[in-house]
A = this chain, B = another copy of it.
Amino acid sequence: MKGPHDITETNGPAPAGPFTPSEREAVYRAIRLRRDVRGQFRPDPIDPAQLRRLLQAAHDAPSVGLSQPWNFILIRDPAVRRSLHDAFQAANAEAAELFPGRKALYSALKLEGILESPVNLCITCDRTRGGTHILGRTHDAATDLYSTVCAVQNLWLAARAEGIGVGWVSIFRQDDLRRLLHLPDHVVPVAYLCIGHVTELYEEPELMARGWADRLPLDDLIFEDAWNRPGTA
């Protein structure tokens, strides 16, 4: 659907105005309805054109100095997936011990969909991409990792609009991820994602629905001009 705010994406400066109300609402809906999916994956494959759009959305992310430090490792081989699932289980058993008062609840949570989802994707950050000095990274070395996370979030929101679920699995020993995906030392595995169609989504974060944690009030998180100085917006 073309609206009055559509612009020609060729060259020169482009209009900067707002989207139409319905377009704006679509962006907010993707943000609001995005969920971290663990247990609702369907096994049917992702259409290759859809997957390509998701990767393009990630690649359209901002990056410090336009360094584009990301790579996209698609994990399709069942044997590799089984190894990663084993690695998750080992790490997750260690993790459960860290929540002694809530171990039963922790262990009842499903925290990954590595084998059930049709494709896994590791988004990495190459810390040498673009050379020794990167514009904008001169005073904060972590900004390349931050760029990579922007790519992850772009993909996640695009996936919600496509009706595709994404789950971020972060419970791996970093050495296991490196070994199983043959990552060289200068490459950081930022996000390991399970991607697939889903039967349904939680309406609120699953950890809320299951009583693990609660939303914080936004007002408590807003300061003005300095840390801890109450602000309003």
Q: Which A residues lie at the B interface, using CB under 8 A?
A: 1, 7, 9-19, 21-34, 36, 40, 48, 51-53, 55-57, 59-62, 64-68, 70-77, 80, 91, 94-95, 98-99, 106, 109, 111, 124, 130, 133, 135-140, 142-143, 145-146, 149-150, 152-154, 156-158, 160-165, 168, 170-174, 181-184, 187, 190-191, 197-205, 207-208, 212-216, 218, 221-229, 231, 233
Copy tally for this chain in the complex stands at 2
Starting from the known contacts A75-B224, A150-B153, 6 additional A-B residue pairs (CB-CB under 8 Å) come to A16-B199, A27-B161, A74-B231, A77-B224, A94-B139, A149-B149
Q: With A74-B223, A150-B152, A182-B228 in contact, do A68 and B171 touch (Cβ < 8 Å)? A: no
Q: Which residues of B contact A1 (CB under 8 A)?
A: 21-22, 25
B233 to A95, Cβ gap below 8 A? no
Residues in B whose Cβ lies below 8 Å from that of A207? 65-66, 135
Whether A27 pairs with B27 at a CB distance below 8 angstroms is yes
